[in-house]
Structure 1
């Protein structure tokens, strides 16, 4: 859940330094980061409270349990898809002069392509819990995304650290 807050703050930093020419893209990214935060916080808060505090029936578990690839799994994918779209728009605003900022801008913009998969795959039934052996797919998606997003986090940290040293 804390990633959502940090992501909104990170985008707010990029938004603050964007020039007038790129304010539409920066504003779009900020709105999308808010949508992402709401979706993710609702999903994880519901899971952390309902699962921990209630004894849920099979119907409720079908919706909330990621291993069953139900509604909350789809909401989670939608949230991360919206996050990806936000990174694309914020990538448009970065005036990349250093090599690390060029990498950051490129990674942010390419990360925007994750939106397509996150948006379409649940609707197309790619994740069908009735198929045998698909219970690992959520973990695989999360691991691939973490490996991709970690350099964005590091480069963003370096970007803002270099700005504060000047």
Structure 2
């Protein structure tokens, strides 16, 4: 059952990432927020599944990854659910929007979102140590997860340095390009994770 949950959650995460990428290309903010929720809903059980099937020696890093993934899901869940509900359906004044609107670069919720993805990156970094790399695909998955952990640094440092404050239209375009790059990077992680769990299921 643990391996099947891993397979299904990897698929859900993949659907979320692809849907998010397409939504950005189509300029659909609501679609992007919704699919971002799907990413978190798939990611947490995927991390838990890695933890469930890892060896006893790797449990500490796996449990750490679960904890970080949970923080990620809560932070981004609050941000995106607010965008789909309060921000989209309620008339708020400029002061409230300046704080709550994710589209305002450097806003509180924009920074919370980045902070959430820092925890996601930390989660992938620690879960990488639970991967039993016995072939090239497994090694590739492990490396991708480890390298993804580096994103945690930029997700924390850039908001603190005020990199996104006073964002412009060109800044928004650069942000979309960066997110599309992230999607292109994370899609192989989802696919390789699915294959990893499927291989374990056959044993």
Structure 2 length-normalised TM: 0.78
Cα distance in 2 between the residues matched to 1:25 and 1:50 = 37
Q: Deviations over 1:122-146 (max 9, x none)?
A: 0101112255632223322311211
Task: Name the residue aligned to 2:18.
Answer: none
The answer to whether structure 1 residue 139 and structure 2 residue 156 are counterparts is no
CA distance in 2, matches of 1:17, 1:98: 17
2:110: which partner in 1? 73
**1:83 paired residue among 120, 125, 135:** 120
Q: 1:89-144 deviations in whole A, cap 9, x for unaligned?
A: 00011111011111000000010000000011001011122556322233223112
Query: Under a length normalisation based on structure 1, what TM-score does the superposition of the two structures give?
Result: 0.94
Q: 2:124 touches 2:148 (CA, 8 Å); kept in 1?
A: yes
Tell me what 1:126 maps to. Answer: 163
**SS of residue matched to 1:68:** coil
Q: Describe the SS at the equivalent of 2:199.
A: helix
Partner of 1:96: 133
Structure 1: 5+ residue stretches without partners: none
CA displacement, residues 55-108 of structure 1 (integer Å, 9 cap, x when unaligned): 111112112333321111111111111100000000011111011111000000
Task: Check the 8 A contact 2:79/2:102 in 1, yes or no.
Answer: no
CA distance in 2 between counterparts of 1:73 and 1:21 reads 37
- Return the alpha-carbon distance in structure 2 between the equivalents of residues 65 and 47 of structure 1: 7
2:80 maps to 44
Does the C-alpha gap of structure 1 residues 115 and 56 become closer, same or farther in structure 2, counting only changes over 3 Å?
A: same
Q: How many residues align?
A: 166
* Unpaired segments ≥5 residues, structure 2: 1-36
Residues 24-76 of structure 1 deviation map (CA, whole Å, 9 limit, x = unaligned): 10110010010001001111111111122201111121123333211111111
